[in-house]
């Protein structure tokens, strides 16, 4: 695939032999230049340059040199940049650990791969002691945002750690962009410091890639959480032009859908994969469902009781989403677990 792409743009394939620190700066500079040429805005070109700097630094420090290849990339109607890093060095002893942000200790092979995972949209690593390390990653252009964003959804959220301790092992994501939105609840396994680390690794990845397709987000979080305890996560992506949303979920995050004018619970039986992302999770099934102006969506972690009905909370569910979230958290939150609620409804004009 990469070869075809390169063949299509032979004039824009850049191969840089990286042996010493000066080559690192040159590789990073070249990546920034190519990213600008492809059309990446400055902050994104900077992130791509940073990813290349991390990869090239690894080549110098741990592989006695190697090569960085930069080229334009296309795929699934998208345009972007592809970066390859190849060496014949000793291989990365623990890829899972290396790729988890904040885990790789400075100075060991694979340092900075967490950064590469966050900066790039897709990432593949093959590393063997006998055959060196081969990394391919892509970053895609985001559609340009023209004009002020019309916020079509109202979000509410409430979260707190267990027993009101300082460390919250739950996290949430809320994003809106032109015609789309993303909402999610993430629950790091257990609670306390290590649950928080897992949840934050997942949240950081999703925040950085929020507009990417759901399967890509789950694959990226899987990479980001490999050396953590792991997380469960439900993400909902709204396609407002299509009046639809897509849900993908792994593990125990409650998803409820209500018709707020009728007060009725809508039939909604998505396929929820069991498992823990970062440890043993299969890819989630993406489930599409219509989104209407009177739909209320509630996501919550298992730190809230799951046995509740819309009838019980009919009054509360008519409140603004932020109020719904807070009142559900107070009514249903279990003291012994981190608890998080996200509520979404169309803005009523
Ligand atoms: Mn929990």
pLDDT digits 0-9 by tens, 87-119: 999 888 888 777 776 554 445 555 688 889 989
- Given strand 287-290, what is the order of strands in its sheet? 170-177, 180-188, 231-239, 244-250, 287-290
* Pair of tokens at residue 60: 């110098």
- How far is ligand 1, taken at its centre, from the CA of residue 232, in Å? 9
For 42, other C-beta atoms within 10 Å of its C-beta total 10
- How far is ligand 1, taken at its centre, from the CA of residue 336, in Å? 9
Among left, alpha and beta (phi > 0; psi -120 to 50; other), residue 232 is beta
Whole-model pTM above 0.85?
no
- How far is ligand 1, taken at its centre, from the CA of residue 200, in Å? 14
The residues that bridge with 70 in the sheet, in sequence order, are 14, 83
- How far is ligand 1, taken at its centre, from the CA of residue 13, in Å? 47
Whether 262 shows a pLDDT value over 60: the answer reads: no
- How far is ligand 1, taken at its centre, from the CA of residue 191, in Å? 7
**Residue that the structure tokens 């739909």 belong to:** 295
Q: How far apart (Å, rounded) are the C-alpha atoms in residues 18 and 68? A: 7
- How far is ligand 1, taken at its centre, from the CA of residue 339, in Å? 7
Mean pLDDT of 305-326: 92
- How far is ligand 1, taken at its centre, from the CA of residue 163, in Å? 13
Whether 15 shows a pLDDT value over 60: the answer reads: yes
- How far is ligand 1, taken at its centre, from the CA of residue 328, in Å? 16
- How far is ligand 1, taken at its centre, from the CA of residue 244, in Å? 28
Give the closest residue to 162 by CA, choosing from 204, 127, 198, 195: 195
Write down how long the chain is.
349
Whether 349 shows a pLDDT value over 60: the answer reads: no
What pLDDT is recorded for position 325?
95
What pLDDT is recorded for position 265?
61
11 versus 248: the higher-pLDDT residue is 248
Query: Going from the N-terminus, what domains does the chain have, and what CATH number goes with each?
Result: 2-140 (3.30.565.10), 153-346 (3.60.40.10)
- How far is ligand 1, taken at its centre, from the CA of residue 334, in Å? 10
Whether 136 shows a pLDDT value over 60: the answer reads: yes
What pLDDT is recorded for position 3?
42
The residues that bridge with 102 in the sheet, in sequence order, are none
- How far is ligand 1, taken at its centre, from the CA of residue 251, in Å? 10
What pLDDT is recorded for position 6?
45
For 159, other C-beta atoms within 10 Å of its C-beta total 20
What pLDDT is recorded for position 77?
85
Whether 264 shows a pLDDT value over 90: the answer reads: no
What pLDDT is recorded for position 108?
52
Highest mean pLDDT among 105-109, 202-206, 262-266: 202-206
Cα distance from N-terminal residue to C-terminal residue, the chain:
48
- Report which DSSP code applies to 77: T
- How far is ligand 1, taken at its centre, from the CA of residue 252, in Å? 8
- How far is ligand 1, taken at its centre, from the CA of residue 176, in Å? 26
- Report which DSSP code applies to 109: T
The residues, any chain, with a CB within 8 Å of residue 165's CB and separated by 6 or more, are: 191, 192
244-248, 298-302, 309-313, 341-345: which range is least confident on average?
309-313
Q: What is the CA radius of gyration of the chain?
A: 22
- How far is ligand 1, taken at its centre, from the CA of residue 175, in Å? 23
- How far is ligand 1, taken at its centre, from the CA of residue 325, in Å? 17
Average pLDDT, the chain: 88
What share of residues in the chain are helix, strand, coil (percent, to 5)? 30, 30, 35
Among left, alpha and beta (phi > 0; psi -120 to 50; other), residue 51 is alpha
- How far is ligand 1, taken at its centre, from the CA of residue 225, in Å? 16
What pLDDT is recorded for position 1?
38
* Pair of tokens at residue 131: 């055959």
Q: How far apart (Å, rounded) are the C-alpha atoms in residues 80 and 108? A: 30
pLDDT digits 0-9 by tens, 24-82: 999 999 999 999 999 999 999 999 999 999 999 999 988 889 999 999 999 888 899 99
* Maximal CA-CA distance, the chain: 68
């Amino acid at each position: 695939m990469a070869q075809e792409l390169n063949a299509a743009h032979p004039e824009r394939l850049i191969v840089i032999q990286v042996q010493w620190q000066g080559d690192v700066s040159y590789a990073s500079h070249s990546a920034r230049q190519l990213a600008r040429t492809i059309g990446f805005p400055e902050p994104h070109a900077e992130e791509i340059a940073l990813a290349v700097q991390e990869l090239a630094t690894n080549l110098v420090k741990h592989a006695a040199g190697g090569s960085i290849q930069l080229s334009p990339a296309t795929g699934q109607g998208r345009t972007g940049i592809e970066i390859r890093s190849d060496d014949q060095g000793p291989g990365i002893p623990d890829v899972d650990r290396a790729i988890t942000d904040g885990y790789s200790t400075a100075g060991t092979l694979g340092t900075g791969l967490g950064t590469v995972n966050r900066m790039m949209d897709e990432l593949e690593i093959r590393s063997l002691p006998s055959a060196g390390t081969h990394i391919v990653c892509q970053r895609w252009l985001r559609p340009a945002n023209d004009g002020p964003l019309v916020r079509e959804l109202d979000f509410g959220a409430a979260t707190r750690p267990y027993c009101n301790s300082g460390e919250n092992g739950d996290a949430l994501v809320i994003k809106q962009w032109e015609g789309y939105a993303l909402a999610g609840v993430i629950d790091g396994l257990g609670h306390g410091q290590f649950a928080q680390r897992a949840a934050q690794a997942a949240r950081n990845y999703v925040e950085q890639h929020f507009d990417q397709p759901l399967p890509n987000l789950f694959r990226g979080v899987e990479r980001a959480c490999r050396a953590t305890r792991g997380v469960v996560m439900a993400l909902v992506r709204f396609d407002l032009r299509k009046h639809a949303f897509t849900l993908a979920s792994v593990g125990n995050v409650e998803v409820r859908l209500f018709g707020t004018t009728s007060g009725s619970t809508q039939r909604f039986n998505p396929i929820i994969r069991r498992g823990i992302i970062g440890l043993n999770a299969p890819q989630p099934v993406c489930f599409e469902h219509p989104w209407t102006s009177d739909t209320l969506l509630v996501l919550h972690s298992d730190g809230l009781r799951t046995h509740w009905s819309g009838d019980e909370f009919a009054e509360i569910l008519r409140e603004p989403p932020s109020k719904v979230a807070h009142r559900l958290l107070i009514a249903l939150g279990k003291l012994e677990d981190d608890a998080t609620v996200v509520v979404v409804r169309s803005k009523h004009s």
